[in-house]
């Protein structure tokens, strides 16, 4: 009986910690897509994308061992761009303003370049790249960029980082531009 209570308490503690991580992740967002470049290697088409991430938590967060599927396009029918990995990303904590004139909180931001494997050098990948360019170039439609996958989450503490060993969270982050886009490839 005492063993069952101990297991139940340990499970409740673990679930509370997991909820705390989810709450922290809920305050992370994609703030901007700064640039995108498509290159070719010997056998692949690859997109290099620079993304600005925001953190509204007061503690810095570290994401590591992230594997994401990327999507770009209208929410109703996005183009599956390809696979991206995020070995490590550290996002500074938000700053709390002081005084009446200061904003109450300023999100911590960091720009990170990621590599998206679009696919092998074949006709299907070229067709996908054309669809991506058409989606990005159509300024009359809303575009959303999404990252969906798994990552480990660490929280900064006074003397380092705390990670829950072996826990990975499914993350789905979306970015929807709030300003009117212009076609960059006229």
Angle ∠(153,172,167) on CA atoms, nearest 5: 30
Tell me the pTM: 0.74
The domain locations on the chain are 2-175
Structure tokens given for 89: 């990303």
State pLDDT tens for residues 19-36.
Answer: 455 566 667 888 888 888
Q: What does the pLDDT read at residue 103?
A: 65
State pLDDT tens for residues 112-168.
Answer: 999 999 999 999 999 999 988 888 777 777 778 888 888 888 888 888 998 877 766
Q: What does the pLDDT read at residue 21?
A: 54
Q: What does the pLDDT read at residue 177?
A: 64
pLDDT at residue 171 is higher than 90: no
CA distances from 92 to 74, 86, 168 (A): 30, 17, 20
How far apart are the C-alpha atoms of 26 and 104, rounded to whole Å? 19
How far apart are the C-alpha atoms of 148 and 71, rounded to whole Å? 8
How far apart are the C-alpha atoms of 24 and 27, rounded to whole Å? 6
State pLDDT tens for residues 61-90.
Answer: 998 998 999 888 888 888 899 999 999 999
Structure tokens given for 109: 């931001």
Q: What does the pLDDT read at residue 8?
A: 43
- In sequence order, the β-bridge partners of residue 71 are 80, 146
Q: What does the pLDDT read at residue 150?
A: 87
Q: What does the pLDDT read at residue 102?
A: 63
pLDDT at residue 174 is higher than 80: no
pLDDT at residue 14 is higher than 50: no
Q: What does the pLDDT read at residue 180?
A: 52
Total residue length of the chain: 186
Confidence of residue 179 (pLDDT cuts 50, 70, 90): low
Q: What does the pLDDT read at residue 83?
A: 94
Structure tokens given for 86: 């995020």
């Amino acid at each position: 009986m005492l063993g069952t209570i101990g297991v139940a308490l340990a499970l409740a503690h673990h679930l509370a910690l997991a909820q705390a991580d989810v709450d922290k992740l809920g305050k992370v967002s994609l703030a901007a897509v700064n640039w995108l470049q498509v290159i070719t290697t010997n056998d692949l088409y690859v997109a290099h994308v620079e993304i600005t991430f925001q953190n509204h938590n007061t503690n810095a967060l570290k994401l590591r061992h992230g594997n994401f599927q990327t999507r770009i396009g209208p929410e109703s029918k996005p183009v599956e761009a390809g696979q991206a990995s995020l070995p490590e990303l550290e996002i500074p904590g938000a700053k709390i303003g002081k005084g009446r004139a200061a904003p109450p909180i300023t999100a911590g931001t960091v720009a990170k370049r990621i590599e998206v494997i679009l696919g092998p050098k074949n006709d299907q990948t070229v067709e996908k790249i054309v669809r991506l360019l058409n989606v990005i170039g159509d300024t009359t439609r809303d575009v959303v960029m999404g990252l969906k996958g798994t990552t480990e989450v660490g929280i900064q503490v006074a003397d380092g980082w705390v990670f829950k060993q072996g826990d990975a969270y499914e993350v789905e982050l979306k970015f929807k531009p709030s300003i009117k886009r212009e076609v960059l490839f006229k």
